[in-house]
Amino acid sequence: MKLQTEVLIVGGGATGVGIARDLSLRGIPSLLIEKGDLLSGASGRNHGLFHSGGRYAVSDREAARECIAENRILRRIAPHCIEETDGLFLCLSEDGIEFRDRFLRACEEVEIPAIPLSRDETLSLEPELNPDLLSAVKVPDGAVDPFKLVLENARDAGTHGAEFLLHTEVKSLILDGNRVAGAMAIDLLHGEEYSIDASYLINATGAWANQFLKFAGLEISMALSKGSMLVTNQRLNQRVINRCRPPSDGDIIVPNETVSILGTTSIRSEEVENFEVTPSEVSLLVKEATKMIPAVRESRFIRAYAGIRPLFQSEEKGEDRAISRGFVLIDHGKRDGLKNLITITGGKLVTYRLMAEKASDLICQKMGIEVAGSTHLTPLPRIVGRLGLKDRLKKIGPSVSIDGREILCDCELIEREEVENILREGKLKDLQDILHRARLAKGTCQGGFCVYRLLGVLNDLKRVEGDPNRILEGFLEERWKGIRPVLWGTAIKEEELSESIYKGIFNLTPTHPSPLEGKG
């Protein structure tokens, strides 16, 4: 099939989707292609921390300023994607007070509101903290739901004319002399091939930047760094908890709805796709977090996950290329002589909008038009408001009825109706797509019960492509990756239960003759 657009965006993470929205608000048509589902990369595998910038205040003033500015903007335009929890930077006795004072001064310099608190004040706000702390500093950190944020961006972009092709992978670039003119792509689920004509192409593939640039015979100086996170079963803290010391591994605990997330590590990786959380990372995260919240040691973990960050090297940060210390925007026309191709990579989730704005500005410059961006002013429309925990709790009890209001996920209280809405909305191909959007399988049992129910419901709605048993197997294997690193204590009981259900009661992968062959 032949397709045509102005700007072809490759990569469905926060950056790519942010660009699609920004361009769409400027009236510039775009098509975004992504080989998996939205947020397949680092955008969907991060800590969910809505930075105030405090973490960079001392070491990188520029980055900190960017963070706090974007923090303010996002609070205005996307309040329903953010939980304004505030954050605390703890000084434990081993940290001393000296760094805290530098921290306070640095925050003041970059205009991050930072309030010092005494030990007693801190403990009365968060009684679960290590009583051995000296003091803390309160900053406007928060918790963000990256899925909601990016999906809302995508939805709004779509309303304004942007197009999306998910599960579609670029196979080669279409070149016209020294100019990029489009790309050849293939739908990975159905095999359909696309030939896409585009005036400009944006490489927003994040950690896959170099893999993509191979199609153009180019390379940027980049490394990969793995960061791992652990998810607790219950929410241990109300505010984001940081360590008030030079940034290091394992020193942040982010609350996220019903759980807390411990993070993170940074380990050089060669692999962009096959990676796992290692036992030593698990031990490190538990150890460091326990120093801040002693209850972590005895806490139950439901899942571990990791993401790959792209780390670009300093050669890329020349004055005419680097817009900021935090991220990199490369115009390959200037750098490599291949016109109409730009790469944008790096950055934090919190600065996605700024990155998208800069990329879109560059595109407008190339197009020779002067349309200013408006994403810093235009709020994301609130299609589905953010449900607080207590509102979700209201879903059980007398209001439950068989007309769609059945609860599919007991742990996270997700209703059948929510799933049906999601199905109605998009062309979803994959079980994981639905799980991401419905937020199923994120709770205590990690889908042990609800995915069976979900598949049953999908089957009833005739939305299952293929054999539901095989899909269930695929889901269980995927789930296993997240569970295996934390299998001890209560998690092992949960595992025994899932094995007994799927291998025992259901005999999902039978080793005996199939139903159609002879019986006993």
Partner 1 sequence: MPSALYRPHGFAVNGYSMNKEPWSNKNADVCIRCATCMAICPVSRVTPLFPGPKQAGPGAERFRRPDDPPVDQWIDLCIGCHLCDMVCSSGVNISELNLIAKTKYLDEKGRPFRDWILSQIHLFSWFGSLFSHVANRLLRSPIIKWMLDSLFSIDRRRELPLYQSPTFRQWFRGNPTKGNRKIAYFYGCYTNTNEVDVGKATVQVLEANDFEVFLPPQRCCGIPMLSNGDFEGARRLGLWNIPPLLHTIRSGSDIVFSSTSCGHMIKHEYSHLLSIPGAEEVAKHLFDIFDFLRNLKENDGLNTKFKALSLKTAYFAPCHLRSLGIGLPAFEILRLIPGLQVDPIDADCCGLGGTFGFKKEKYEISQEIGKDLAEAIDGLKPEIVLSDCEGCRMQIRHLTGLKVLHPIQILRDALIFSKTE
Partner 2 sequence: MHYDIIIIGMGLSGLMAAKTAVEMGKKVLIVGKGVGSLSLFSNTIDVLGSISNKMTLIDILSQWIKDHPKHPYAKVGLREMDQALSSFTSLFPPPYSFQTIGDGNWLIPTGVGTLRPTYLIPSTMVPGSSLKEGNGLIIGFKGFKDFYASWVAQQLKCRGFTLSLRDVFRQEITATALSRLIEKKGFRERMGREIRKHLKAETCVGLPALLGMNDPCSAKKDLEELIGAQVFEIPVLPPSIPGMRMFNRFKIWLIQRGVTFLLGYSVSKAILEKRRCEGIEVLHPPISTSYSSDRYILATGRFIGGGLKANEEKIFEPIFNLPVFQPKSREEWFQKSFLSDSPHPIHQAGILTDPSFRAVDEKGEWILENVWIAGSILSHHHWVDEKSREGIEITTGYMAAKQALKYEARGAGHAV
**93 Rama class: left (phi>0) / alpha (psi -120 to 50) / beta:** alpha
Site size for partner 2 (CB under 8 A):
57
Find the part of the chain contacting partner 2 (CB under 8 A) among 13-21, 101-109, 171-179, 508-516: 508-516
Any contact of residue 478 with partner 1 (CB under 8 A)?
A: no
Within positions 238 to 297, which residues make up the interface with partner 1, using CB under 8 A?
Answer: 238, 258, 295
Q: Is residue 465 close enough to count as binding partner 2 by CB under 8 A? A: no
SS3 at position 447: coil
> Is position 47 an interface residue for partner 2 (rule: CB under 8 A)?
no
| Assigned token pair, 479 | 């789930």
- Is the preceding omega at residue 232 within 30 degrees of 0, hence cis? no
484 binds partner 1 (CB under 8 A): no
121 binds partner 1 (CB under 8 A): no
477 lines the binding site for partner 2 (CB under 8 A): yes
For residue 360, give both structure tokens: 């879109």
Distance in Å, CB of 511 to partner 2, minimum = 6
Q: Is 85 in the site for partner 1 (CB under 8 A)?
A: no
Query: Which of partner 1, partner 2, none does residue 368 bind (CB under 5 to 8 Å by kind)?
Result: none
Helix, strand, coil content of the chain in percent (nearest 5): 40, 25, 40
Q: Are 508 and 473 in contact (CB under 8 A)?
A: yes
Nearer to partner 1, 398 or 515 (CB): 398
Reading the block at residue 308, the tokens are: 């790959």
Question: Which residue's CB is nearer to partner 1, number 2 or number 390?
Answer: 390
- 3-class secondary structure per residue, 289-356: HHHHCHHHHHCCEEEEEEEEEEEECHHHCCCCCCCCCCEEEEEHHHHHCCECEEEEEECCHHHHHHHH
Does residue 404 interact with partner 2 by CB under 8 A? no
C-alpha–C-alpha distance, residues 272 and 211, integer Å: 9
Among 290, 355, 408, 429, binds partner 2 (CB under 8 A): 408
Pick from 120, 191, 401, 466 the residue near partner 2 by CB under 8 A: 401
| Near partner 2 in 248-287, by CB under 8 A | 279, 283, 286
311 lies in the binding site for partner 2 (CB under 8 A): no
* 123-131, 320-328, 430-438, 475-483 -> range binding partner 2 (CB under 8 A): 475-483
Nearest CB to partner 1, comparing residues 256 and 351? 256
Question: With respect to partner 1, which residue has the nearer C-beta, 143 or 165?
Answer: 143
Which residue, 432 or 490, is less far from partner 1 as judged by CB?
Answer: 490
Q: Packing angle between helix 431-438 and helix 416-425, nearest 10 degrees?
A: 120
Asked if 438 and 432 count as a contact pair (C-beta separation under 8 A), the reply is no
Cβ closer to partner 2: 69 or 407? 407
3-state secondary structure of 192: coil
One-letter amino acid for residue 149 of the chain: L
**Cβ distance to partner 2 smaller for residue 128 or 406:** 406
Contacting partner 1 (CB under 8 A), which of 94, 493, 507, 513? 493
Distance CA 109, CA 104 (A): 9
Q: Exactly one of 2, 268, 390, 424 binds partner 1 (CB under 8 A); which one?
A: 390
Whole-angstrom Cα distance, residue 333 to residue 341?
Answer: 7
Residues 6+ apart with CB under 8 A from 443: 258, 302, 409, 410, 411, 412
Interaction of residue 466 with partner 2, rule CB under 8 A: no
SS3 401: coil
Question: Whose CA is closest to 345, among 364, 358, 334, 333?
Answer: 358
Rounded to whole angstroms, the Cα distance separating 469 from 164 reads: 30
Count, residues near partner 1 per rule CB under 8 A: 37
Query: Which of 75, 102, 155, 300 is close enough to bind partner 1 by CB under 8 A?
Result: 300
Residue 227 backbone phi and psi in degrees, to 5: -125, 130
Q: How many CB atoms lie within 10 A of CB 361?
A: 18
**293: nearest Cα among 330, 255, 241:** 241
Residue (163 or 478) nearer to partner 2, CB: 478
Tokens 């893999």, located at residue = 211
CB of 398 to partner 2, least distance (A): 8
CA neighbor of 330 nearest in space, from 315, 310, 344, 347? 344
Out of 2, 127, 191, 315, the residue judged to bind partner 1 by CB under 8 A: 127
**Measuring CA to CA, which residue among 332, 354, 259 is closest to residue 48?**
259
The answer to whether 324 and 330 have CB atoms below 8 angstroms apart is: no
CB 470, min distance to partner 2, A: 11
Nearer to partner 2, 158 or 468 (CB): 468
Residues 42, 40: Cα–Cα separation, whole Å? 7
Q: How far is the CB of 392 from partner 2 (least distance, A)?
A: 16
Q: Could you say whether residue 496 binds partner 2 (CB under 8 A)?
A: yes
Smallest gap, in angstroms, from Cβ of residue 477 to partner 2? Answer: 5
Query: Which of 93, 313, 400, 425: binder of partner 2 (CB under 8 A)?
Result: 400
Q: Kindly indicate which of the ranges 12-20, 312-320, 410-418, 460-468 contains the residues binding partner 1, using the contact rule CB under 8 A.
A: 410-418
For binding to partner 2 (CB under 8 A), which residues are involved? 279, 283, 286, 398, 400-403, 406-408, 449, 452-453, 455-457, 459-460, 468-469, 472-473, 476-477, 479-480, 484, 487-489, 492-493, 495-497, 499-516, 518-520
For binding to partner 1 (CB under 8 A), which residues are involved? 124, 127-128, 233-238, 258, 295, 298-300, 388-394, 396-398, 400, 410-411, 413, 443-445, 448-449, 490, 493-494, 497
